A and B are shown apart, each in its own frame.
Chain A
């Protein structure tokens, strides 16, 4: 079935550092890909999305490019802030016929001043 794999373990980095969170996927069709962010004590919020190969999603300085050849959708930000500390989830929605999102396990990101 459809699945999403995120890199293991939390990510700790200093303010203004470069952030990368890896995400790879397995899908039988042509999925749409998403990154969701969860701030402490809150629900998930859509951060960015890409609906077809080579699309780049971007928001709040974050970017991710839909790479069909490597089945990847890695999240990047050039200069993180303390306020970017959160849990980040990669997800896919595979249509037609699949009425759900498949989520990765999430990565805790901690940005230290």
Chain B
């Protein structure tokens, strides 16, 4: 089954403790992206990647890192999480540079205390 898999689904952590949210897609998509969803703000893009070793900042990249060493994986790294990064995070991928169809994972709900 074609899918985007994020792990974990839920994560509670403390300020300053490094964490990684994994994202993997099995559709051989070139494009991958991370979003955060917050009440009243909708979805905002954090980082995206057009292909292996090609990443770029989205609208809200501060406090996040990403890497794209393999086509299928696009982990999101929070080196020193802070409470304002408490949010619902989504990974997405697309085969189409025109982004005519994004495939989303089921989300990771992160709480930073």
Q: Is A85 an interface residue (CB 8 A)?
A: no
Contact (Cβ within 8 A) A49 B98: no
- Can you name the residue of chain A whose Cβ is closest to the Cβ of B43? A103
Contacts of A69 in B (CB 8 A): none
Size bracket, chain B contacts: 20 to 34
Q: Is A66 an interface residue (CB 8 A)?
A: no
B27-55 interface mask toward A, CB cutoff 8 Å, 1 = contact, 0 = none?
A: 00001010100001111110010100000
Contacts of A36 in B (CB 8 A): 102
- Can you name the residue of chain B whose Cβ is closest to the Cβ of A6? B42
- Can you name the residue of chain B whose Cβ is closest to the Cβ of A44? B104
Q: Chain A CB within 10 Å — which of B44, B97, B99, B106 has the most?
A: B99
Q: How many whole Å from B103's CB to the nearest CB in chain A? A: 8
Contact A44-B90, Cβ < 8 Å, known A101-B99, A103-B42, A105-B40 = yes
* In the A-B complex, the 4 residue pairs with the closest CB atoms: A43-B104, A105-B42, A103-B43, A93-B99
Binding site for B on A (CB under 8 A): 32, 34, 36, 41-46, 49, 51, 89, 93, 95, 99-101, 103-106
